[in-house]
Amino acid sequence: MKTAQRFKQSGPTRRNKAHALVRLFAALGVAALSIHFAAPSSRGQARRRTRPATTQAQRDAPSDAETAATLARAIELLQAGRPNEAEPVVRRVVSAQPRNADARTLLGVILDQRGRVREAEVQYREAMRLRPKSVAARANLGVLLARSRRYEEAVAMFRAVLADAPGHPQATFNLGVALFNLGRNEEAESFLNTPAALSRSAPEALYHLGMIAATRGRAEDAADFWQRALALRENYPEVNFALAEELRRQRRYEGAAEFYERALAQDPSKLVHHVRLGGVLMLLSRYDAALEVFRRAAERFPKSAEAWYFVGIAARGRGDFEVAEGALRGSLRLKGNNVDALAQLGFVVGERGRDAEAERILRRALAVDAKHFFASYDLGRLLVRARRYEEAVKVLRGAAELRERDPGVRYQLFIAYSRLKRAADAERELALFKKLDEERKARRGEGGEEQIEDTLPSPASPSPVEEERKPAPQGAEQQ
């Protein structure tokens, strides 16, 4: 770094060396650490003659300038993504100067970076003991606490930082996010929608403001916040995903698919991105495209029962029951009592003409969850096909209690009652079927959406607080 080069080449004063180190911390996105040096004596050499003789250990101890240079080197290593090399460098300082709060804080940052959270917390708290007003130690400890879901403790830590450093940008932003994660949306909004939070973390703050607006039913405000976030950072998968989720809630599936595709392209590491895109493609009856999305997900997450399950439902939607059966059985090998996979498999096996096996699978699903609608419905339908009408009525009445406005259940009950010569019951169910089927078509178009929607997971959790500990090249944005 240029700052470090100037530091090494020009031989600045101790105070300049301290300022250089502060700038290095600031470049990392870490709260600036102040380095404290003893002021030179105004009495000069005469004063120094009166001091007690120094010990050999004191003479061997590094000077303040050497300590500053060592910590600067550790920061450079951390910034270069080499925390394993930075750690022994800082530990040498801590060993020589165990009361150096700055070294303790930097060691905490490195340990945190390496996933050794408990050790990092110990170092942050020791730095706070040595220097109770340390902004850096408290701010970074707050991030650690928030990432560990200890949100109440994190809120207290960020508030303490702001009490001593009003308007601290990252502490303001992180406090807002911690409050958001506690469901205290009004308070969260009051911190996130401030110049301090927006000055350093504008895209992230706008994302969370959008999430708060969406939670409060302000869809237009949410979309505005998210569009502003994308204007600042186009490659922001969480925002693209949030926009897609909102469009899906509004049943604007074409638009949702576009934003899900962006989120997936920008971050394919999240299974939910694959699942949501595939799901909305199924809602658009684009089963071939959905199956391809889910197959790629299964290749990327081969040990995920959910990924194979979604391959199965897409293949079912396309009518490829052989592929569907193989994928669903693969899902059940990974997660044996997945009631959704059992229900889907029961349907598929029945469609392949193996009714006795299908019945066993569906009854197994109901043993896991007696109130699973699709297992009940498909078992009832299977019993109707087998002409076991009395049994079918009992099962279908249970399904109707779970979803009284489902037209498919009413139609199967109409068939069963008709075969049992219960004309009044059959007429009632037929009338209900016609009414509910018309309502469904008017509301959602042609059917299948309820079942597809039921297979999709809930929206992804909001992103964690901005991690002040993470090194990045100077000028890069922290996430």
Instruction: Supply the pLDDT for residue 296.
Output: 97
Whole-structure pTM value: 0.74
pLDDT of residue 472: 29
Nearest CA to 194 among 173, 214, 216?
Answer: 173
Q: Are 436 and 406 in contact, with CB atoms under 8 Å apart?
A: yes
pLDDT at 60: 52
Lowest mean pLDDT among 87-96, 360-369, 435-444: 435-444
pLDDT, position 65 = 83
Backbone angles phi, psi at 168, to 5 degrees: -55, 120
d(CA 105, CA 138): 9
Taking only the tens place, the pLDDT of each residue in 109-121 is: 999 999 999 999 9
DSSP, res 406: -
Q: What is the pLDDT of residues 161-193, one digit of tens each?
A: 999 999 999 999 999 999 999 999 999 999 999
Question: How open is the CA angle 334-338-340, to the nearest 5 degrees?
Answer: 130
Q: What is the pLDDT of residue 443?
A: 72
Q: Go through the chain and tell me how many residues it has.
A: 479
Q: What is the distance between the alpha carbons of residues 357 and 359, in angstroms, rounded to a whole number?
A: 5
Interval 218-239: pLDDT, tens: 999 999 999 999 999 999 999 9
Tell me which of 452 and 140 has the higher pLDDT.
140
pLDDT above 90: residue 425: yes
Contacts of residue 319, defined as CB under 8 A and 6 or more positions apart, other chains included, come to none
Domains of the chain with CATH codes: 1-34+64-148 (1.25.40.10)
Pick from 64, 55, 140: which is nearest to 100 by CA? 64
pLDDT for 452: 53
What are the pLDDT digits (tens) for 237-264?
999 999 999 999 999 999 999 999 999 9
Task: Lowest mean pLDDT of 47-51, 88-92, 238-242, 385-389, name the range.
Answer: 47-51
